[in-house]
Amino acid sequence: MTRRIQDRQGFMDAAATALRPLPATTALRGVRAKVHLSASLTVVPLPAALQDWLARLRLLKGVPFGYLVPDEAMLPPESIRFFTLDRAWVDTLVDGALSIGRTLGRKPDLAMSGLESGAADHAQPLAAEAVTRMRGRGLGLPPAMPPAGPITGFLLRSKQVSDTPGIGVNVYPKGHTPADHDHDSSVDIQLLDILRFEALGAASDVMICLVSGEAWRVDIHEPPEQLHYGIDAFTQAEGGAVSAVKNLHGFTQSGDQVTLSPDVTPVDISIAFRSNGQRVASLSALSGILARANAMAALDAAEMGFAMTQGVGMVSFMRGDDK
């Protein structure tokens, strides 16, 4: 905290230097101070550490949880709540942070008021620009474009947050979701930039997500490293007889281009499993079954992987049409 106050004090001291040539005998002193200050601030920039601190504040980092969710009943266990961030509230929050050392009293100092107003006008947009750098810096990615529209997001309270580190999220705008692309292949799929996505503590069961733009569809999924070979049904009787099914998406290949069929065909793969109760399958037998189901002579390793890879578990939330 001492460093932040010192950074701000240095910024304010440098800005105050620009006010010295101004006369102190006019009621317009504060207005003139602000104008003069605006020119001075191009030479005395807002310290980077202060920009980052204000950006974290705009992302609600360090804001007490009780200010976000005043009553536990608003976010019960195993629930999710979507919201739009009130920019006026956030601007007021940042203004409060910039008010350290603000002159108080019955007779306000007009010059100081102009100085504070000019400093705030200079600091607010810089803090807003720094918001997009915060997540990119941690992930080693280039910063996203500064938010031009609303900032939306969600709070998720679930045991999965604490039990499954590495949960991922994809957020799409209206008209550019995977479902829109499936309906019309000329529609491109777009992802909204994620500004903040993290659990609120090492052992917390609450996760917050903030995105740049109007969220229309939100996909929350297991960690992508959990991709694996998988089947869709398996039972084994006491005598050892196995019943297993793989839901197969047919595909065609032309050169390097692979076209996946949206239709799913249940394929009985029971005979590929041994009957010794060890849940072991013969990959050569399994490959032959899948090749015949796809009208192919044989599958190579890449085609086998394409047919057998099972995606991670995912839950989708879609916003309803406005009434």
- The C-alpha atoms of residue 222 and residue 60 are separated, in whole angstroms, by 25
Residue 219 confidence class, pLDDT cut points 50, 70, 90? very high
CA dihedral 94, 100, 104, 110 (to 10 degrees): -70
| Mean pLDDT across 291-310 | 84
The answer, yes or no, to whether residue 78 has pLDDT greater than 90, is yes
Residues paired with 242 in a beta bridge: 236
The answer, yes or no, to whether residue 5 has pLDDT greater than 50, is no
Q: Which range, 77-86, 87-96, 219-228, is most confident?
A: 77-86
- Looking at residue 118, what is its pLDDT? 67
- Looking at residue 4, what is its pLDDT? 46
- Looking at residue 22, what is its pLDDT? 41
- The C-alpha atoms of residue 293 and residue 249 are separated, in whole angstroms, by 10
Whether the Cβ atoms of residue 51 and residue 132 lie closer than 8 Å to each other: no
- Looking at residue 217, what is its pLDDT? 96
Q: Is the pTM of this model over 0.85?
A: no
Q: Where is average pLDDT lowest: 123-127, 170-174, 205-209, 242-246?
A: 123-127
User: What's the mean pLDDT when you consider all of the chain?
Assistant: 79
- Looking at residue 7, what is its pLDDT? 52
Stretch (H or E) spanning 157? strand 151-157
Q: Where is average pLDDT lowest: 35-44, 59-68, 73-82?
A: 35-44
- Looking at residue 43, what is its pLDDT? 52
Share of the chain above pLDDT 70, in %: 75
Say which residue, 299 or 204, is predicted with more confidence. 204
Residue 24 confidence class, pLDDT cut points 50, 70, 90? very low
Residue 116 token pair: 């504070």
